[in-house]
Amino acid sequence: MKINYSVNVEEFVAFNRFHWERSPYFRQTVAALRWYLPLGLTSVAGLFLLADHGSLPVAFGLLCGAAFLVVATPRILRRSLDRQVRNMFAEGSNKAFFGAHELEIDDSGLVERSAFGESRFRWEAVERIEATPDHVFIYLSAVHAIAISRSSVSGCDIEAFVAALKERHAACRA
């Protein structure tokens, strides 16, 4: 079974965002930035209030800053991640990554082809398969996946392809 799909930088942005939102490491980092820094600002505000009653405006400013960080940190970090991914890919032409691709399921694993090469991945190399309403991510490591935009697929029913992927992957794991 084969599918044809097109890859652009947005698939890599989507994968990194998907991974970032589900990775225990990144979730812990976001939680720390979201809560510990505001907690520190709140503590400093409390110290200002204890030290001098005239520092109410400073304490209020610190508390407002802490509240802003609690609310805005996840969005700020997501936008920063998206920008970093786009900037990294802007450093080169990335011909092997972008453009038309073909992905084939065979008995030994997956074969990914583009105009610039071919890659083979045995079923044992596939760590997991994640599907969202917009994308399919075939994880080949903890931080690398074949990212497929559902809207770019042609040549096959994407749902049948994902079902076949998951079936072969599960058979390999059994």
CATH number of 144's domain: 2.30.29.30
- Band of pLDDT at residue 145, cut at 50, 70 and 90: very high
User: Are 74 and 124 members of one domain?
Assistant: no
- Band of pLDDT at residue 44, cut at 50, 70 and 90: confident
Q: Could you report the per-residue pLDDT of 73-99, keeping only the tens digit for each?
A: 889 988 999 999 999 999 988 888 899
Identify the residue whose tokens are 């799909």.
Answer: 5
Q: What's the average model confidence in pLDDT over 116-130?
A: 95
Cα–Cα distance measured from residue 14 to residue 74, given in angstroms and rounded to the nearest whole number: 16
Identify the residue whose tokens are 């059994």.
Answer: 174
User: Are 108 and 141 members of one domain?
Assistant: yes
Q: Coil, strand, or helix at residue 136?
A: strand
- Residue 53's pLDDT is what? 65
Identify the residue whose tokens are 């503590």.
Answer: 43
- Residue 54's pLDDT is what? 66
User: Which backbone phi and psi does 120 adopt, to 5 degrees?
Assistant: -115, 135
Structural domain that includes position 109: 2-7+97-173
User: Are 103 and 154 members of one domain?
Assistant: yes
Helix, strand, coil percentages in the chain from 3-state DSSP, rounded to 5: 60, 25, 20
Q: What's the average model confidence in pLDDT over 142-147?
A: 93
- Token pair of 168 as six digits: 């072969």
Q: Coil, strand, or helix at residue 114?
A: strand
User: Are 45 and 85 members of one domain?
Assistant: yes
- Band of pLDDT at residue 149, cut at 50, 70 and 90: very high
User: Are 85 and 114 members of one domain?
Assistant: no
- Does this model's pTM top 0.75? My answer is yes
Q: Which of 17, 40, 21 is CA-nearest to residue 29?
A: 21
Residue 146 has pLDDT above 90, yes or no: yes
* 153, 4 Cβ separation under 8 angstroms: yes
